Amino acid sequence: MTDDTMPFLDALLKRGGGDFMKDLAEEVLQRLMAYDIEGRIGAARYERNDERTTQRNGYRERAFDTRLGTLDLKIPKLRKGSYFPGFLEPRRTTEQALVAVIQEAWIQGVSTRKVDDLVQAMGLSGISKSQVSELCKGIDARVGSFLDRPIEGEWTYLWLDATYLKVREDGRIVSIAALIAPGVNTDGRREILGLGLGPSEAAVFWLGFLRGLEKRGLKGVKLVISDAHEGLKAAVAQVFKASWQRCRVHFMRNALAYVPKAQHQMVAAAIRTVFMQETQAAASKTWRQVADKLRPRIPKLAALMDDAEADVIAFMAFSKTHWPKLHSTNPIERLNKEVKRRADVVGIFPNEASIRRLVGAVLLEQNDEWQLQHRYMTLETMTTRGEDQTVAITHIAA
């Protein structure tokens, strides 16, 4: 026992630094990996015997986020096969999906030198078709159970947004729309409710996707937030008895397209006065005033505002504390960026199943992180509508 403990303490003291607990955690995890890899290889470092199955092949660095801070770990690599420590497995799903996509592309003959180098850098040289198949089955089972799970309870808010990814289809490279649908339930909890893949954002695609969510149990939706799309708007009206909120950020971009560049700042400031109002009724009145002032000089913009009024200020009918999160699709922009970041590693997907595998894994991990966080919206405000809350605040102040 003494022989094991003293070298350990000596190694810890040599690390230096001022965060003892963080250094201790790093050293313990490194030693756990060393013992684990020794058992897998069948030999200690520098040991020669006939039972050895492979050899060590250096390390790859990996950051591990913990309550003690970010730990800088060195994961051992093997000359044959791959190794990943069990304590990192819960955060491993996306990486497995990414590896599976690259392997699948490689096997199907669509890889490039860059992909081949990446596979070897991951320590996956010598991978077989059967190993790829088994890996994909495991990931697909987890992702499938997450994306197809029953949706329980009532969901007050639903965001819808799509991002486009490239995939090979019949020898051609085409774009596929990946639609992501996060929602907030009556408890103020946020979850990712579904993922849809389709050739375009046609009305039929939207309707099928929303019908699928409804079939899985989605109900109680009062507000849907998305970009302006006639097919989506029609599908929402057909499936849910809910208001539709047109993304305010996208609307502003569309509005300024009618405005000379020199007047962008002035017009944008005028439209923003609408969103500074305390109630939906006051915002509606201000909206019309701004539209009437712009009508003589920019009639097309005024006409756009006439058509979009109800959709752009729909969020003001709900709790005022929720307004910053309801007026646009911004709450899922970060999620879309993460999907694109992971997808860019692949570039062109070999098939649609590989898109579902990788994007679904990203969504699964993000959903798990959301469950560890505080409520997205407080329980008290989920039962209060916008104008009712304003009256209540005024009464309390009086």
Per-residue model confidence as pLDDT tens digits over 202-211: 778 888 999 9
396: pLDDT strictly greater than 50: no
User: Domain end: 328, 359, 386, which one?
Assistant: 328
Give the distance between the most distant pair of CA atoms in the chain.
90
Task: Give 317 or 343, the one with higher predicted confidence.
Answer: 317
User: Domain end: 306, 328, 350, which one?
Assistant: 328
pLDDT, tens only, 127-165: 555 655 666 677 788 889 999 999 999 999 999 988 899
Tokens 């819808």, located at residue: 160
Q: Tell me the pTM.
A: 0.69
pLDDT, tens only, 207-226: 899 999 999 999 999 999 99
User: Domain end: 15, 50, 85, which one?
Assistant: 85
Into how many domains does the chain fold? Answer: 2
Q: Is residue 295 part of a domain?
A: yes
pLDDT of residue 117: 53
Per DSSP bridges, beta strands 223-226 and 243-246 are parallel
Contact between 313 and 328 (Cβ < 8 Å): no
Q: Is residue 18 part of a domain?
A: yes
Spatial neighbors of 197 by CB under 8 A, at least 6 apart, are: 176, 177, 178, 179, 352, 355, 356
Q: Is residue 30 part of a domain?
A: yes
- Range with top average pLDDT, 90-104, 192-206, 262-276, 330-344: 262-276
Closest CA to 287 of 254, 303, 265, 309: 309
Length of the chain: 398
pLDDT of residue 395: 33
Per the structure, the complete domain to which residue 270 belongs is given by 248-328
Closest CA to 218 of 244, 245, 243, 241: 241
Q: Which residues pair with 178 in a beta bridge?
A: 163, 197
Q: Is residue 146 part of a domain?
A: no
Closest CA to 382 of 157, 210, 174, 175: 157
- Cα separation, 393 vs 391, whole angstroms: 5
- Cα separation, 381 vs 322, whole angstroms: 8
pLDDT of residue 85: 81
Q: Is residue 287 part of a domain?
A: yes
